[in-house]
Amino acid sequence: MTYVIAEPCVNTKDTACVDVCPVECIYESEPQPGTLDLPMFIHPDECIDCGACEPECPVEAIFPEEDLPENWGPFLQANADLSAEV
């Protein structure tokens, strides 16, 4: 399991989650044509599933992978695609 940043972060980009991550697995991303405009992502191989980031998100954009709302499913792939570039 990993945590996923979803759609509510797109227009907010609050970095409170970055400040509390003990392993620094939350990265900022640059907009990329043809992809979801996700400003930050959680690297699934680095995340230790501690959950510290989830309650810190003021727009409730962070979800455990298995709890990600179905309509935001594409954000799981977007997080994975961005992580592959790190």
CA angle 12, 81, 44 (to 5 degrees): 80
Judging by beta carbons within 10 Å of its beta carbon (0-12, 13-18, 19+), is residue 74 exposed, middle or buried? middle
**Domain assignments of the chain as residue spans, ordered by start:** 3-84
**Comparing C-alpha atoms, which of 21, 20, 65 is closest to residue 44?**
65
pLDDT tens for each residue of the chain, 86 residues long: 689 999 999 888 789 999 999 999 999 987 666 667 788 999 999 999 999 999 999 999 999 999 999 999 999 988 888 888 77
d(CA 5, CA 20): 15
Q: Tell me, what DSSP letter sits at residue 4?
A: E
Q: What's the CATH number for 3-84?
A: 3.30.70.20
